[in-house]
Amino acid sequence: MPSKKTDPEDLLPLTPAAFHVLLALADGELHGYAVMQEVAAHTDGRMKMGPGTLYGTIKRLMEAGLIEESDERPDAESDDERRRYYRLTGVGQRVVKAEAQRYADMAAVARGKRLIGKLTRAIQT
């Protein structure tokens, strides 16, 4: 498991699946199916993660110490006890921020080459 002093840059670049899972968890804990829904929503359905990709990615992110399973559960009446909830670790938060910055830097280069405009599609909608 990475130590608290791990340089996030050492863990980059992330795979697209790993980046999307970390982005989905950036707002707080989610269970696996909710992560899949969040990824589909953030990509306007362009990226649909199947269970194999999702849970394989979650396993690798947990082994790397970027996410962890949460011990906290929502109200038992509104939750399925089989669900596992995941959250970012401190290292995971630093890594997803570093990867987002890496993407922002690449977008700035693309804007400079007039490959994309000033506003991205996500900001315009």
Nearest to 85 by CA among 58, 53, 48, 45: 58
Task: Flag whether 115 is in a domain.
Answer: yes
Determine the longest span between alpha carbons in the chain, in angstroms. 54
* 1 belongs to a structural domain: no
Is residue 59 assigned to a domain? Answer: yes
Q: Is the pTM of this model over 0.75?
A: yes
Q: Where are the alpha helices (DSSP H) in the chain?
A: 16-25, 32-42, 51-63, 90-112, 121-124
Residue 28 lies in a domain: yes
4, part of any domain: no
Identity at 54, one-letter amino acid code = L
Instruction: At 66, list the tokens.
Output: 């970027």
User: What integer is the mean pLDDT of 53-66?
Assistant: 97
Whether residue 100 is contained in a domain is answered as yes
Residue 89 included in any domain: yes
Q: How far apart are CA 86 and CA 107, in angstroms?
A: 29
pLDDT tens-digit series, residues 77-119: 666 778 899 999 999 999 999 999 999 999 999 999 999 987 6
Which amino acid type is present at position 117? G
Q: Residue 118: what pLDDT?
A: 76
Please state, in angstroms and as integers, the Cα–Cα distance from residue 8 to each residue in 4, 30, 76, following that order.
Answer: 10, 23, 36
Q: What is the pLDDT of residue 5?
A: 66
Boundaries of domain holding 54:
11-124
Number of domains in the chain: 1
CATH classification at residue 114: 1.10.10.10
Residue with tokens 């050492």: 10
Residue 92's pLDDT is 98
User: What is the spatial distance between Cα 105 and Cα 80, in angstroms, rounded to a whole number?
Assistant: 41
Q: Tell me: the pLDDT tens digits for 18-45? A: 999 999 999 999 999 999 999 999 999 9
Contact in structure between 13 and 98 (CB atoms under 8 Å): no
**In this structure, is residue 44 part of a structural domain?**
yes
**Cis preceding linkage at 13, omega within 30:** yes
